[in-house]
Amino acid sequence: MHVEWLLAGVMVAALILYALFGGADFGGGVWDLLASGPRKQEQRALIERVMGPIWEANHVWLILAIVLLFTAFPPAFAAISIALHVPLTLFLVGVVFRGSAFSFRSYDSRGDRQQKRWGFVFSLASVIAPVLLGMIVGAVASGRIRVASGVVTSGFFASWLSLFPFVVGLFALALFAFLAAVYLTNEATEPALVDDFRRRALLSGGVVAALALASFAASYQGAPLIREGLTDHPITWPLHVTTGLAATAAFFALWTRRFRLARLAAAAQVTLILLGWAASQYPFLVVPDVTLAGAASNPKTLRLLVWVLGVGFVLLFPSLYVLFRIFGSGRAGAAHDGDEAHERE
């Protein structure tokens, strides 16, 4: 295997982990904004309790992907950061506002007017940031970012202010909201809260399916090379089939209240969607002018980066395991307790 393929695979894996963990945190903010009914406060309290101990650690996967991009594939990093510096900056501002507002709301006095304002900032940023993230991905895949002799020639707005990136942004938002709702059905211990988030998971799952079809339809004009990759690449059809099976399994598990199975199926669905995107875009890092092989750093740098990653993973994974073990141990049986409580009813 070429070293650049290995590093690109690690980068895709980091983005998948960011979607599964950080994306679910964004989705939690969506449900915080949309909390309603007689258990509105309980819904927000559950989201805060689940996110609180570990939400900052989840950004490590996005940082890893960015570091790999600018170290292993600097021309691709240059093209993306120049052409998309406006949505990238807005996304980072949203992440900062979201994190700051979450902290201020958590430590401010309960019921205070300022705390409610911080809660609104947190929720609003949790909606805007994933839309921008999806628009960035859509712009990279669209073919509208043009690079000639290492210089971006397509401007700073046309590549991401179009229909296809916007639909992909909405798709990312719905996908994260679905993932969060499924996770929260497992975290809730009160049967009524389990039902609240079960309904939200079923509803948002339907929105995900609709926006997936809308994204594919928009790709005919907005991302023709990606559309060809989705339909003509030999590996994408098995990914489409397995993604459909995972989505069906998630809906079935939610409908029959097998929430642990739903969590596994939803995570598999998100993973397969991102793998399908990566496979359809190969061999491009920025469609259509920056390829994986063409953007790779010199072999010595790539080999050194592989060694650094190996050392880093030895330190990173045990630390994250301990973090999740400590703060997740008290909630491990939440879904099982919710299932049993429903059966007793």
Q: pLDDT tens across 43-75, in order?
A: 988 988 887 656 667 888 999 999 999 999 999
Q: Taking each helix axis as running N to C, give the angle between helix 163-187 and helix 259-281, from 0 to 180 degrees, rounded to the nearest 10.
A: 160
Reported confidence tier of residue 3, pLDDT bands at 50, 70, 90: very high
Task: Write out the two tokens for 284.
Answer: 């491009």
> H/E element holding 285?
strand 284-286
Please give the average per-residue pLDDT across 124-129, as a whole number: 94
- Dihedral, CA atoms, 226, 89, 75, 11, nearest 10 degrees? -60
Reported confidence tier of residue 337, pLDDT bands at 50, 70, 90: very low
Residue 345 has pLDDT above 50, yes or no: no
pTM, to two decimals: 0.90
Task: Write out the two tokens for 265.
Answer: 């199926």
- Tell which residue, 254, 277, 270, has the closest CA to residue 335: 254
Residue with tokens 């429903």: 342
Contact 232, 291 (CB under 8 A): no
CA–CA distance, 274 with 248 (Å, rounded to integer): 17
Residue 111 has pLDDT above 70, yes or no: no
Residue 4 has pLDDT above 70, yes or no: yes
Contact 147, 289 (CB under 8 A): yes
Contact 282, 229 (CB under 8 A): yes
Which pLDDT score is estimated for 70?
A: 94
pLDDT over 90, % of the chain: 67
CA–CA distance, 46 with 133 (Å, rounded to integer): 26
Which pLDDT score is estimated for 54?
A: 64
Reported confidence tier of residue 325, pLDDT bands at 50, 70, 90: confident
pLDDT tens digits along 248-292: 999 999 999 999 999 999 999 999 999 999 999 989 999 999 999
Which pLDDT score is estimated for 336?
A: 44
Amino acid letter, 32: D
Lowest mean pLDDT among 19-28, 98-107, 128-137, 306-315: 98-107
pLDDT tens digits along 170-209: 999 999 999 999 999 998 989 999 999 999 999 999 999 9
- Tell which residue, 148, 190, 174, has the closest CA to residue 45: 190
CA–CA distance, 109 with 5 (Å, rounded to integer): 51
Q: What residue segments make up the domains of the chain, in order of their start?
A: 3-344
pLDDT over 70, % of the chain: 91
Average pLDDT, rounded, for the chain? 88
HEC sequence for 257-279: CCHHHHHHHHHHHHHHHHHHHHH
Contact 192, 46 (CB under 8 A): no
